[in-house]
Structure 1
Amino acid sequence: MRLWLPFGAGLAVAAALSGPARRWYLTWGSTSDEVTARMPGDELLNRPGLVSTRAVSIAAPPAAIWPWLVQMGSGRGGAYTYDWIENLFGLDMHSADEILPEFQHLAVGDLLPLGRTGAALRVAMCDRERALAFQSEDGNWVWLFQLLPDGDGTRLVSRNRITAPDTWTSRLVNRLVMEPGSLIMERRMLLGIKERAERTAAPAAVSAV
């Protein structure tokens, strides 16, 4: 048993570092066209060391999704993911289950703190019901959202562009911890937005019949 544990751990590490596994971590839910397409805000960070593009189909129009996006943030609408994990890092995230009118007036230049004493993201682009971009104050992280009409629904695409230290240790930590970890959190976030937008869009669709 003791001999098999290191062997099993080695296999797990090899799987995590493999090309197919990494592509799945970084492109969950997205199409090949979405992965390669240029998104509004890409130009904010021209040579990222790490790029992820993840997406989800939502049976609701962009107008039903946008309010959930603009109210995101610490001390605002949260991130619609695993709050308990976020709050282990002191991010003060409490995911809202309703649209909060007081947080619907997002504008370029607004600063959204990550926790009460941590870093902050600045709104770099706010194209209503089309595209939203945040950039960290140090410029090393850009987080983009794009809403693409898709039949009667919408494709919500989320892209992270990050400047990461180019060292062996950093690359190993990113591939073993950060990339799979970010998939867990962002997948839950995208599905959380999908659930909320489809729920709030449903009464409007019924009343229009």
Structure 2
Amino acid sequence: MPEQQSRRRTGARPLAFPAALATLAFYALRCRPRLLTWGATRDETARSYPGDELVPDPDGMSTMATTLPAPPERVWPWLVQMGYDRGGWYSWDLLDHYGRPSADRIAPEWQTLEEGQRLTAVRDGRSWFTVALLDPNRTLVLRSDLNLPQGRSFDPRTDPEPRARLDGIWGFHLRPAPFGETRLVVRTRGRGHPRWLTRPFDLVLGEPAHFIMQIRQFHNLRTRLDAET
């Protein structure tokens, strides 16, 4: 009996490796491309957007899109007031807003935004997004420069360049759509250093996490716009 159990165990080991390879191949070839382009058309994924030039040689990129039930000038105020200490991020608040509900109304006090302004990303203020590009009702590009060892943001214009870092953009691009709607395309581009450290982390955690948070944001923006009508 022990010999039979031993044979079964040793026989199962060679099967585990091919199964793992098949799972990885399925994710890489079928699942991952869909995560990175969820909702976007071929034209939307292929074209360039303002802000792409800020990360010219990205290690990773995604283009996700949705149609929102309002014209760009009604969608824009919701985007302008994003930020941890402003309207939130309209995503999974338990994960990115410490459980505080994101705003469900347009707040006049959060409608002022300008290029170079910092939007706090977390409660302790250690990390933030910088408004890199701003074209009202059309384009909002947020930039992130993260010092990985410290887990906090840095200013590439004034701070020493960390040995391990992650640079990226999160761009929101609005275009009018038929029937008074808005086509919202969200483009991300990221580059890490050293690549051997940052790229596996992005593949395993970063890209799936962004997908989960971004589709939730799309849903919540749509819900808020529906409530306005």
Measure how far apart 1:176 and its partner are.
2.4
Aligned match of 2:217:
189
Q: What is the rounded CA distance, in whole Å, between the counterparts of 1:79 and 1:130 in structure 2?
A: 19
Give me the TM-score of the superposition, normalised by structure 2: 0.77
Q: What is the rounded CA distance, in whole Å, between the counterparts of 2:50 and 2:197 in structure 1?
A: 32
Q: Give the conservation status (yes or no) of the 8 Å contact 1:56–1:155.
A: yes
Consecutive unaligned residues of structure 1, counting only runs of 5 or more, are 203-209
SS of alignment partner, residue 126 of structure 2: coil
Counterpart residue type for residue 128 of structure 1: P
Q: Percent identity, aligned pairs only?
A: 37
Counterpart residue type for residue 174 of structure 2: L
SS of alignment partner, residue 38 of structure 1: coil
Q: What is the rounded CA distance, in whole Å, between the counterparts of 1:60 and 1:109 in structure 2?
A: 28
Aligned match of 1:37:
47
Q: Which has the higher relative contact order, 1 or 2, with Cα contacts under 8 A spaced 6 or more apart?
A: 1
Q: What is the rounded CA distance, in whole Å, between the counterparts of 1:96 and 1:163 in structure 2?
A: 31
SS of alignment partner, residue 163 of structure 1: strand
Aligned match of 1:177:
205
Counterpart residue type for residue 184 of structure 1: I
How many residue pairs match? The answer is 197
Aligned match of 1:19:
29
Q: Which of the two has higher C-alpha Rg?
A: 2
Q: 1:119 to 1:169 in 2, by over 3 A?
A: closer
SS of alignment partner, residue 192 of structure 2: coil
Q: What is the rounded CA distance, in whole Å, between the counterparts of 1:189 and 1:123 in structure 2?
A: 19
Matches within 5 A, 1:86-101: 86-87=96-97, 94-101=101-108
Shifted more, 117-126 versus 2-11: the winner is 2-11
Q: What is the rounded CA distance, in whole Å, between the counterparts of 1:73 and 1:11 in structure 2?
A: 40
Q: Tell me how large the CA RMSD over aligned residues is.
A: 2.4
Q: What is the rounded CA distance, in whole Å, between the counterparts of 2:215 and 2:107 in structure 1?
A: 23
Q: What is the rounded CA distance, in whole Å, between the counterparts of 1:93 and 1:39 in structure 2?
A: 32
Q: Give the conservation status (yes or no) of the 8 Å contact 1:112–1:122.
A: yes
Aligned match of 1:143:
170
Give me the TM-score of the superposition, normalised by structure 1: 0.84
SS of alignment partner, residue 164 of structure 1: strand
Match status 1:126 vs 2:137? no
